[in-house]
Amino acid sequence: MITEPSKLLTESDKEYLSNLFSSDSQSTACWDSLLSDQSVLQLILDREDFRENLLDNPCVLHISSSFYFYVVVYWELKKRNITDNRLAVHISGLLDKFHHSQNLLSLSDQQGTRNIFPSVIDLLRDIAASPRHLAHARRISLADLMLFMTGVFHQLIEERKNRRAAPPLEFYEKVGSDQYCIVADDGLASDSDEAECFSQLGREFHQLRLALNDISDRIFHLHGFPIALPS
């Protein structure tokens, strides 16, 4: 698990930041070492002019999706007084993962309702029948899926509940929160930092979901797609 924002940066991200903040083109080479310093990157992230440039400047097309998602998530969590950067790194990573998912990219109105997610009940059964280390990995995947679903497709979940008496958002929230909390305490995290990150994800699941709701409404606009959600 990546927990440091500086490790998300690609060469194009560093070039973008260098061009934005450096008046001396010859100093570009210095930015590699500067941006590896988390305190320097933090100062940049907290600048309002940086946020505005990132959101309004067409040049951001040249930065990586992972860094773009990180900045958007970072600022949304900051508005909610959630300041643990590990959470922003993890959430931006799962957004980037699903952003590149062929399941999402292939959605089409002409194909009718698409069931792009497996059954939650089936996934929980698979976890229960899995060896310890595999169960750990599957719990993380399920928790990430629950956070993504409730964060990006919250309106569809509510509509489905109203139409078919399907599970509400609270059901998916509890599944996701429980899985994060279990992997935080099962002793299989790579270190204490990772375990604490999972614990935070579990405890803050509801607030993180609300933050993703706002991001989704502003950026993704996926609610018009005909997607069948799992129960």
179 and 150 Cβ atoms separated by less than 8 Å: no
Instruction: Give the per-residue pLDDT at 230.
Output: 45
pTM, two decimal places: 0.82
Residues 160-184: tens digit of each pLDDT: 888 877 788 999 999 999 999 999 9
- Is pLDDT of 117 > 70? no
Instruction: Give the per-residue pLDDT at 59.
Output: 58
Give alpha helix (H) positions in the chain.
Answer: 11-21, 31-35, 38-45, 48-56, 65-79, 85-99, 102-105, 120-128, 132-152, 154-164, 169-185, 192-203, 205-215
With bands split at pLDDT 50, 70 and 90, how would you rate the model's confidence at 31?
low
- Mean pLDDT rounded to a whole number for the chain: 80
Quickly count: other Cβ atoms within 10 Å of residue 93's Cβ.
Answer: 18
Mean pLDDT (whole number) for 11-38: 70
Mean pLDDT (whole number) for 191-195: 92
Across the strands, what pairs with 227? 114
Ramachandran sector of residue 203 (left: φ over 0; alpha: ψ -120 to 50; beta: rest): alpha
Answer with the residue of higher pLDDT: 217 or 108. Answer: 217
Every domain of the chain and the residues it spans: 5-99, 102-228
208 and 147 Cβ atoms separated by less than 8 Å: yes
Looking at the chain, the whole-number percentage of residues with pLDDT higher than 90 is 39
Answer with the residue of higher pLDDT: 20 or 107. Answer: 20
23 and 73 Cβ atoms separated by less than 8 Å: no
